[in-house]
Amino acid sequence: MKFMLGFFNDSSSTQDWAVFLDEVSIATFQLKAKEGSKNWVPVEMKNGDRVRITVSANGDAAADLTLTGSKLVLSSHTPNEWRLDQETGTQYTVYCLLA
């Protein structure tokens, strides 16, 4: 599955983001409060692949994006801090509320 991934800081603090596809870094950036990433990150995943997303602010949070069949699933130990929205057929945005 090929898609574009965007990111949005839905908190009141600046956040440092790191994105990995199967443990290989594909993006690092900083987002100010209530700011989205300016660029979409192209991702190609096959069933069972994992995108790990980590965010640091006043604390740390991590989430995994996995492909199960044809569906993207976002999971985390802190599920209330994360949200995945499908913007268009091939564009998705990950939101993090970690303050």
DSSP string, the chain: -EEEEEEEE-SSS-EEEEEEETTEEEEEEEE-TT-B-SSPEEEE--TT-EEEEEEESSSEEEEEEEEETTEEEEEESSGGGEEEEE-SSSEEEEEE---
pLDDT of residue 81: 92
Please report, for the domain that includes residue 6, its CATH number. Answer: 2.60.270
pTM: 0.93
pLDDT of residue 58: 76
**Domain around 73:** 2-96
What is the number of structural domains in the chain? 1
Q: What is the pLDDT of residues 18-56, one digit of tens each?
A: 999 988 999 999 999 999 999 999 999 999 899 999 999
pLDDT of residue 27: 93
pLDDT of residue 2: 96
In this prediction, residues 5-21 reach a mean pLDDT of: 96
